[in-house]
Structure 1
Amino acid sequence: MKAIAQKFNATFGADMTGPAIAFLAVMVIFGLAANNFISSATFGSVAFQLPELGLLTLAMLLPLLTGGINLSVTFTANLSGLAAAWVMQIYGGVDASPSAFLLGVLAALATGGAAGLMTGAAIAYTRAHPILVTLSMMIFLRGLGEFLTRGGDVSGFPSFIAPIGHGQLFGFPIPLLIFVICVGLWQLLLTRFKLGFGLLMIGSNIEAAQYSGMNTRRILVLVYTLSGLMCAVAGVIMLARFNSVRVGHGESYLLITVLAAFLGGIDPFGGFGRVLPVFVALIVLQLLSSGLNLMGANQHLATALWGVLMIVVMAARTIVSAYFASRRKKG
């Protein structure tokens, strides 16, 4: 057993221990307790529901790695979706052309990028705590969206948009493919680009990063701008999935994105974390939700169990890390 654990850590990294334990636990428990849990229907449901939460978690991931946070991810996504919706409404609504949709996507990316840019600039140049800045941005975006929509939603889009939220390509859900591409981009960013190394340095010790000659302000601005752009992608996916946009869509996802990141081994204080364990953690959370639905459990119970799962996995990860640390000391 020890040899298996050591081989696993050497191959996948110690931060995969928690998500792997959680994945196996969920599969075994619900495989025994829920009928038809291990089926194509369950995994199909997970594949279509995962991208919304997953994209928002990716948007949360980069700020967390710098030791910050982005509490405005859901409202940035919704306002970006509203920007795309308004562009399509201007150019015909349900009769809008593909070029109008592309223009709407650009408007969404511009909106998300601008929100992230303002947030990053405020954090980088005022040195205000990210919680305060992003909380202020969240309140601003929510208020702005409700003012512009009068608390309602925007709907009525061309039919060719629907496959982006519900369609398949070569047997794979299109939103899942988009999410996997985004996971790959974040993986490349963190492992192959100077920005990835820089944001991890900032998360470890921002003073040391400054003394080493890094432009920490520029890195922080880029981090939050990229976070905003990922929010915009999530906003477009939600627009296509729900065929409408509302300021409050996905509001409950905010704290779950933080939960998924920490479950995936992201250091709460920044400086350490990888994309793959977070991806596995997201699958675990979605499988947990689907398993409880099959058992007829209340959705509020699923939310409570997400918290319990987080505590259990963090405890297990701490115990495993302590075990291997003691073994190394012994020689």
Structure 2
Amino acid sequence: MEHVLNSLKLPTDKNIRYLLVILVGILAIMALSSGQAFFSVSNLQSMSSQMPLLGLLALAMAVCMLTGGINLSIIATTNACSLVMASIITQAPDSAMMLILALVGGLITAIVVGLLNGALIAYVGVSPILATLGMMTLINGLNVLVSGGSVISGFPQALQVLGNGSLMGIPTPLILFVAFAIGLWALLEHTPLGRTIYLMGSNEKATRFSGINTQKATLYVYVISSMLCWVAAIVMMAKFNSAKAGYGESYLLIAILASVLGGINPDGGFGRIIGIGLALIVLQTLESGLNLLGVSSYLTMALWGGILILFIFLQKNKA
């Protein structure tokens, strides 16, 4: 089994080298085109505060893609968790007990969505893309119905610190992202469930016939994905000091892009967390550089789509 897992990691290691070359190239271009503006303290702090939210969503996407699946409901789940938590917190913003109840309510919401996604895929046999697309549509509708499409705001300072605070100059959201990235890395690399996830992505039928309960593993995967969405919801609420059904609609594409760019095979089977982290740095660096150069956000979004298509094409050719 270890031999199989080691062989599956080789393409990702090469992918990491490519990302390092791309990152150096982008930094060199930014140094020549924008001068000191790109490397200013304010710009670097802005980049480090924006990356964690996308990073958590990319982790939520990647853990599903490693099995050969996908989770299109990550943004809807994040917004659902944030709306549930916001609705509870605003009942008594200064109450510590209400804050705890809100966090628990958001976590329960995430677990329920994860269980529903996992059950549809593992036990009913619905394809991941259709199951999570249906779940995304259902949750989006419920989010708007319950909230009326309005913004919920007015959170306690204790929550806002998670989105805008810092520890020894390091943004709190970045610390959260790194902590959960390390936790997911440990789960994937050093636990039986992690090995099962890689094997399922490589050959789900062979894994099932070997006696491993792939249905249970799939259920766990989508619950883990939804729980990461819950953490992303906390960061998003704290960062914006509000919750709304339509937040983060453009993040879905970037989460998929960061996963694929980081070396996660869309068909499952290989990929490493370090690759996703490096891909996020590349994407955030590129986006920040384009903003400084005055490039339209719509053109940037089109660029993300083009890069995603290109990398999937290259991975298919390598396969």
User: What TM-score comes out, normalization by structure 2 length?
Assistant: 0.92
Residue 114 of structure 1: SS of its match in structure 2?
A: helix
Please say which of residues 33-42 and 247-256 is displaced more in the overlay.
33-42
Partner of residue 73, structure 1 = 74
Return the alpha-carbon distance in structure 2 between the equivalents of residues 283 and 61 of structure 1: 16
Instruction: Give 1:275 shift.
Output: 0.3
Give the whole-Å Cα distance in 2 for the aligned partners of 1:318 and 1:39. 39
> Once the 2 structures are TM-superposed, how far is the Cα of residue 217 of structure 1 from its aligned partner?
0.4
Counterpart-to-counterpart distance in 2, 1:271 and 1:280: 19
Q: Distance in 2 between matches of 1:188 and 1:171?
A: 26
* Aligned mates of 1:195, 1:31 — CA distance in 2: 44
Q: Equivalent residue for 1:86? A: 87
Distance in 2 (alpha carbons) for counterparts of 1:298 and 1:155 = 29
What is the distance in 1 between the residues matched to 2:18 and 2:305?
A: 14
Distance 1:308 1:26 in 2: 17
Q: How big is the shift at 1:293?
A: 1.0
How big is the alpha-carbon RMSD for the aligned residues of Structure 1 and Structure 2? 2.0
In structure 2, distance between residues paired with 1:227 and 1:311: 24
Is 1:19 the equivalent of 2:14?
no
Q: State the partner residue of 1:262.
A: 260
What secondary structure, in the 3-state scheme, does the structure 2 residue paired with 1:34 have? helix
Q: Partner letter of residue 128 of structure 1? A: V
Provide the residue aligned with 2:34 in structure 1.
34
1:225 to 223, 226, 249: 223
On the 8 A contact 2:111/2:223 being kept in 1, the answer is yes
Query: Are residues 224 and 135 of structure 1, via their aligned partners in 2, closer, same or farther at CA, if it must alter by over 3 Å?
Result: same
Q: CA deviation at 1:304?
A: 2.3
Count of paired positions: 309
Match of 2:3 in 1: none
Give, in whole Å, the separation in 2 of the partners of 1:318 and 1:13: 17
Cα distance in 2 between the residues matched to 1:300 and 1:118? 34
Shift, 1:61, TM fit:
0.8
Distance of aligned partners of 1:237 and 1:221 in 2 relative to their CA distance in 1, 3 Å threshold: same
Match of 2:269 in 1: 271
1:163 to 153, 161, 164: 161
Q: 2:302 aligns with which of 296, 301, 304?
A: 304
What amino acid is the match of 2:52? Answer: P
What stretches of structure 2 of length at least 5 have no aligned partner? 1-8
Partner of 2:151: 153
- The answer as to whether partners of 1:18 and 1:264 remain within 8 angstroms in 2 is no
Q: Which residue of 1 aligns with 2:48?
A: 47
Q: TM-score, normalised by structure 1?
A: 0.88
* Alignment partner, residue 243 of structure 1: 241
* One-letter amino acid of the counterpart of residue 13, structure 2: G
1:217-273 deviation line (CA, Å, top 9, x unaligned): 000000000000000100111011111100111011001111110000111100111
Look up the match of 2:64.
63
Residue segments in structure 1 that go unaligned for 5+ positions in a row: 1-8, 323-331
1:52 counterpart letter in structure 2? L
Tell me if the contact between 2:265 and 2:315 (Cα under 8 Å) persists in the aligned partners: no
Sequence identity percentage: 40
**Higher gyration radius (CA):** 1
The answer to whether the Cα contact below 8 Å between 1:19 and 1:313 also exists between their aligned partners in 2 is no
Q: From the superposition, tell whether residues 317 and 30 of structure 1 become closer, same or farther in structure 2 (CA, over 3 Å).
A: farther
1:31 Cα deviation from its structure 2 partner:
1.7
Shift of 1:315: 7.5
> CA contact under 8 A between 2:47 and 2:285: conserved in structure 1?
yes
